[in-house]
Amino acid sequence: MVKMNLGGRIALVAGASRGVGRGVALGLGEAGAVVYVAGRTRAPEEASEGLPGTIEETARMIDDLGGRGLAVQCDFRDDAAVHSLFDRVSAEQGGLDLLVNCVWGGYEGMVEADGRYTWEAPFWEQPMWRWDAMFEAGLRAAYSAGRLAARLMTARRSGLIVNMSYWAARKYMGNTAYGVSKAATDRLTSDMASEIRPYGVAVVSLYPGLVRTERVMRAVEFGAPLDLDQSESPQFIGRAVAALAADPRIMERTGRFLVAAELAVEYDFTDVDGNRPRALSLESA
């Protein structure tokens, strides 16, 4: 596996208590980056739906991998808290090299209080809170963090912003609100990239495959028919981000959507188990 070296780079991962966000933080940590681990969950009792994972745990895991983890509690729906986070990064580090937006909402409560499974219900039967969660907790968070990161990056005329997206942006995958929000994420990426390109800052969308997050593994435990044969660990996504951050030609990719498993072939890295998952396509997703 190619060794990515991000020693001296300053990264901020939004939504890093668990899931893909934690995996991204760990992938950057093993590459030697200083990683601000930002999220809401500082203690286990604060976790969404009782899922394991806290920002403090993620930061300790980064330290164990050879990077430096700094846990910062932040609710990305709170503008004052987000400003405070970026002010801290600027004061402590003098700038920012990498922002990864992994905050998302709308996955919670797929089974309603009355026992109905509503995730794949038609849009006219969907609860409005799910739309609001995806756009408020997810898309708005990426926009809010992105604009503050851009102010730091344009001052130094370098940097990378990664917005986590998915194939639902390009094909129907069972939930209208999800597809619209991911398509909006990709449009956010392309428009951000157009405006910030002259300052030497790149913006990309990154598509994972089926990731073995805490939520996915709980679903499998309860009988969800998910085939994990070609699934990816969260840290695999982090290795994809680390490879992009280490690429001196990253500006050639700005504004594009990229597939983590395709990057593994191009940059010659594997998952934590030594395997290289097969990349999804528009047809197979």
The H or E element containing residue 85 is: helix 79-93
Residues 6+ apart with CB under 8 A from 39: 14, 15, 16, 17, 21, 55, 58, 73, 74, 103
Among 36, 107, 166, 178, which one carries the catalytic annotation? 178
Tokens standing for 232? Answer: 């990816």
Task: With H, G, I as helix, E, B as strand and everything else as coil, classify residue 13.
Answer: strand
Name the phi and psi angles at 115, rounded to 5: 95, 0
The reply to whether 178 belongs to the active site is yes
* CA nearest neighbour of 25 among 6, 43, 50: 6
Q: Amino acid identity of 283?
A: E
CA torsion through residues 207, 14, 217, 234, sign: positive
Whats the size of the chain, residue-wise? 285
Tokens standing for 271? Answer: 């998952």
Task: With H, G, I as helix, E, B as strand and everything else as coil, classify residue 150.
Answer: helix
Catalytic residues: 178
